[in-house]
């Protein structure tokens, strides 16, 4: 039959080229997380991936091209993790509140596990190198960050429409501020200046400012009433009047 290999012939194995590119990019990330992005060469990446240097160069002509692809892969995974966290908040018959969406995005951005630590180590190193190396394209990564900022701004607008956050707030400026704060908190945790718990407390503090009439979706305890609201006990008859 035409188009079919005859008896004894070897059928060429079909290669998933996109999967091979991801395999090589993952090898770069593993090496860069330990040795630093600047000290990671194509030969080290090939050895880590278990492929030849020629194959790495076939898929990525330059180290700069490989670094950009790998960093974009990290950004995509960050987005997937954020969406998964938001999905876990969904309850049957009720939408996820804007505050909870924003809280999930900001919490997911903290380097609280190995995967997110790798993300920030590589992302920060790539950003630093791009400031002095014009061969490194930073625009695609900036676009990813801008997309997340846009999602937060849209959630703030939805919250304003629902009366959950004050109308006087500027959603775009607040979203930009939250993203800048998130980047600073991530750097602080990465450098050991603060713990993930302390960073989360800062996030909660600012969300309480933006959403004064609502709290987190899940509370571990009943909030304590402020001292000024504690009144002396009154007869039961006076409470029913």
How confident is the model over 60-119, as pLDDT tens digits?
988 889 988 988 888 788 778 878 888 887 777 778 899 999 999 999 889 988 888 888
Residue 142 and residue 35 share a domain: no
| 4: pLDDT strictly greater than 50 | no
**Is 11 among the domain residues?**
no
- Using the predicted structure, report yes or no on whether residue 139 has a pLDDT greater than 80: no
Q: Is 46 within a domain?
A: yes
Res 25 pLDDT > 90: yes
More confident residue, 210 or 115: 210
Residues 123 and 187 in one domain: yes
Task: State the Cα–Cα distance between residues 164 and 208, nearest whole angstrom.
Answer: 11
Angle between helices 171-190 and 114-130 (to 10 degrees): 110
Q: Which domain covers residue 161, as residue numbers?
A: 64-214
Q: Tell me, what's the pLDDT at 156?
A: 97
Query: Is residue 116 in a domain?
Result: yes
Task: Indicate the number of domains in the chain.
Answer: 2
User: In terms of domains, do 45 and 147 share one?
Assistant: no
Q: What is the mean pLDDT of residues 7-25?
A: 72
Tell me what pLDDT residue 14 has: 67
Task: State mean pLDDT over 187-208.
Answer: 94
Domain shared by 50 and 68, yes or no: no
Query: Is 206:178 a contact under the CB 8 Å cutoff?
Result: yes
pLDDT at position 11 is 40
Query: Above 60 in pLDDT, residue 224?
Result: no
Helix axes 139-161, 98-108, angle to 10 degrees: 150
In this structure, the answer to whether residues 45 and 163 fall within a common structural domain is no
For residue 151, pLDDT beyond 80: yes
Residue among 202, 219, 201, 186 nearest 108 (CA): 186
């Amino acid at each position: 039959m035409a188009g079919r290999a005859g008896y004894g012939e070897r059928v060429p194995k079909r290669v998933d080229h996109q999967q091979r590119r991801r395999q090589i990019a993952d090898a770069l990330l593993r090496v860069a997380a330990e040795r630093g992005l600047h000290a990671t060469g194509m030969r080290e990446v090939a050895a880590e991936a278990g492929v030849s240097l020629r194959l790495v160069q076939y898929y990525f002509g330059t180290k700069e091209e490989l670094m950009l692809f790998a960093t974009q892969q990290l950004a995509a995974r960050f987005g997937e993790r954020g969406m998964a966290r938001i999905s876990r908040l969904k309850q049957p018959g009720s939408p996820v509140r804007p505050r909870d969406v924003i809280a999930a995005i900001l919490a997911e951005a903290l380097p609280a596990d190995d995967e997110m630590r790798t993300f920030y180590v590589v992302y920060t190193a790539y950003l630093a190198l791009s400031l002095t190396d014009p061969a490194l394209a930073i625009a695609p990564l900036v676009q990813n960050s801008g997309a997340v900022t846009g999602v937060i701004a849209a959630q703030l607008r939805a919250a304003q429409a629902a009366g959950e956050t004050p109308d006087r707030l500027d959603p775009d400026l607040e979203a930009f501020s939250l993203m800048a704060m998130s980047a600073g908190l991530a750097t602080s945790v990465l450098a050991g200046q603060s713990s993930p718990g302390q960073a989360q407390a800062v996030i909660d503090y600012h969300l309480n400012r933006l959403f004064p009439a609502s709290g987190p979706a899940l509370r571990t305890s009943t909030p304590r009433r402020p001292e000024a609201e504690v009144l002396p006990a009154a007869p039961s008859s006076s409470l029913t009047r």
